[in-house]
A and B are shown apart, each in its own frame.
Chain A
């Protein structure tokens, strides 16, 4: 499928990014889908919060994530492509289902672990790398959103550290259980090749083999994401030798 050219695109931006526009279109589609999924997750989270301040916080995060999705769509228009999204695409749906299992269990801590530790590690690391590789306004948008995502991880970290201090063993077991569910899916998404067929987000063929054309690679995005995840788990205080085994056991 050919990229759709938006009528509001700046001619200069279109000209400079024209050959790589289909690649950026897919990268933006993945990012936008992730942001919309995060918005849905925070909205669901607000429904199980008892504390009105937590409800407000979750809804504010949901709004922020919708803003990020809109920003990615706007960046697409600037380079002359329409950015689609598909929160029902197979991998993203599995991630949403994993989060919703925590919602059904009214497991506020589990929700934070999935969203803030796992999904946000992936977002912060990959947006940061894309922010460095993407030119102009597009790069700035990714870098800005990466920084914003990192900011709200800090708030969740203090809640999670407090929770771990109560019972480290039980907490680490919970993280491990969620890791097996969520990180297995994320690892499949981050694999160098999509071995299970089309991801249902890229507009045509899988974008991964083309990433080198925009100075990125699937291996780099996976490596940066897993490193961010390990560092986040370190900040929680989970022993490094434990998390190392978790990560090396993920599918490739």
Chain B
């Protein structure tokens, strides 16, 4: 296990930094847990009002060291850098402030000597269309990590269909947030294997372009900015919209639809229409070759019911570091192809990074699986 906070309270660790992971806490509870851990068990946890007052002032910085092992014996080390975007400031109103925080976190990663930097969570959403705003240094590359996220979403959909005994080839796939990097990547990977595709997003022009691209390959595509306007009920749904809170309401989906909540933070709002649906959290992978934090933030930074589960966007940087391929694998918006998804899947699998066990807010969705940690 990793070192305690006390062990590193006065000294840093001097190891080579292959990768950096830029993230943030998606809820005040998560932020409180991080600060409570840093304060140590002998000090009273900070009251909620103090956390909300203090956190926005913390400049982006490393929170811990991360060591990752591969099932074929490779090892790599890096840093988790928190941008300290306050959980209640993910809205558009704070976009400039938040880009500034991601830029500062990126500068921190460069200064630490990271060779590859993965932009986790909202950081990649903020930056996917603004890569030119990141600080430049020739020996540090940035990846949104979206290609591996897409890979795990697609694998999750296929696995869930298999678990539910559904024939994916007969299904109608709805992608909400279809024109984003993750949404469009999922569309390209799944469109060839489903019966028809429904694409929803706010920007009609981008929707039309994506639809035309898919239709050129013979896919039956329908587009709408309003979910109620689709002509049929979707039975497989991917929610990949960039929303800062669980505010996405689904309508007009099949009563027993498979729904992948692939947003970060999770943005699907539970509703009465979804009572019979099979919801799972998408885009997550699991490291089987070993994951170590120093100080030991296990279960605090990766708050999942199964061990060593990490978001695909962050795993992409770790997988590429294990492969010693320090390249900007995922950049920009809308350029994720099926070939690139297969390539990153292969790299990840070579090092023992696989799709995480499927789960949702109620726990595991696969029979026989049990959570290893208490999870609410």
Q: Which residues of A contact B43 (CB under 8 A)?
A: 249
Q: Which of A5-13, A169-177, A205-213 is found at the contact surface with chain B?
A: A169-177
Q: Which of the four size classes fits the interface of chain A?
A: 20 to 34
Given contacts A172-B10, A173-B10, A252-B46, contact A241 B54 (CB under 8 A): no
Q: Which of B60-68, B258-266, B331-339, B357-365 is found at the contact surface with chain A?
A: B60-68
Q: Is A243 an interface residue (CB 8 A)?
A: yes
**B interface SS class:** mixed
Which of B56, B59, B64 makes the CB contact (< 8 A) with A241? B64
Interface size on B, residues (CB 8 A): 29
- Which of A169, A242, A248 has the most chain B CB atoms inside 10 A of its CB? A248
Given contacts A227-B59, A252-B46, contact A241 B12 (CB under 8 A): yes
Q: Is A230 an interface residue (CB 8 A)?
A: yes
B-contact bits for A220-252, CB 8 A (1 contact / 0 none): 001110110011001000111111111111001
Residues B27-55 near A (CB distance < 8 A): 35, 38-40, 43, 46-47, 50, 53-54
User: Once the chains bind, are A240 and B108 in contact (CB under 8 Å)?
Assistant: yes
User: Once the chains bind, are A227 and B58 in contact (CB under 8 Å)?
Assistant: yes
User: Once the chains bind, are A249 and B39 in contact (CB under 8 Å)?
Assistant: yes
User: Once the chains bind, are B59 and A230 in contact (CB under 8 Å)?
Assistant: yes
Query: Which chain A residue lies CB-closest to B5?
Result: A245
Given contacts A227-B59, A234-B61, A249-B40, contact A169 B11 (CB under 8 A): yes
Q: Which residues of A contact B35 (CB under 8 A)?
A: 248
B59 to chain A, nearest CB (A): 6
User: Once the chains bind, are B61 and A226 in contact (CB under 8 Å)?
Assistant: no
A232 to chain B, nearest CB (A): 11
Q: Which residues of A contact B295 (CB under 8 A)?
A: 241, 245
A220 to chain B, nearest CB (A): 8
Q: How far is the CA of A231 from the CA of B111 in the complex (A)?
A: 14
User: Once the chains bind, are A241 and B39 in contact (CB under 8 Å)?
Assistant: no
Q: Which residues of A contact B61 (CB under 8 A)?
A: 230, 234, 240-241, 243-244
Q: How far is the CA of A230 from the CA of B43 in the complex (A)?
A: 21
Q: Is B9 an interface residue (CB 8 A)?
A: yes
Q: Is A15 an interface residue (CB 8 A)?
A: no
Which of A219, A231, A238 makes the CB contact (< 8 A) with B12? A238
User: Once the chains bind, are A192 and B53 in contact (CB under 8 Å)?
Assistant: yes
Query: Which chain B residue lies CB-closest to A227?
Result: B57
Q: How far is the CA of A234 from the CA of B13 in the complex (A)?
A: 15
Q: How far is the CA of A173 from the CA of B11 in the complex (A)?
A: 7
Query: Which chain B residue lies CB-closest to A223?
Result: B57
User: Once the chains bind, are A241 and B50 in contact (CB under 8 Å)?
Assistant: no
Residues B94-135 near A (CB distance < 8 A): 108
Q: Which residues of B contact A172 (CB under 8 A)?
A: 10-12
Q: How far is the CA of A120 from the CA of B234 in the complex (A)?
A: 61
- Which of B13, B54, B108 has the most chain A CB atoms inside 10 A of its CB? B54
A–B complex contacts, Cβ < 8 Å, 7 sampled: A172-B12, A173-B11, A223-B56, A234-B61, A245-B8, A246-B9, A249-B9
Give me the interface of B with A, judged by CB distance under 8 Å.
5, 8-13, 35, 38-40, 43, 46-47, 50, 53-54, 56-59, 61-65, 79, 108, 295
Give me the interface of A with B, judged by CB distance under 8 Å.
169, 172-173, 176, 192, 219, 222-224, 226-227, 230-231, 234, 238-249, 252
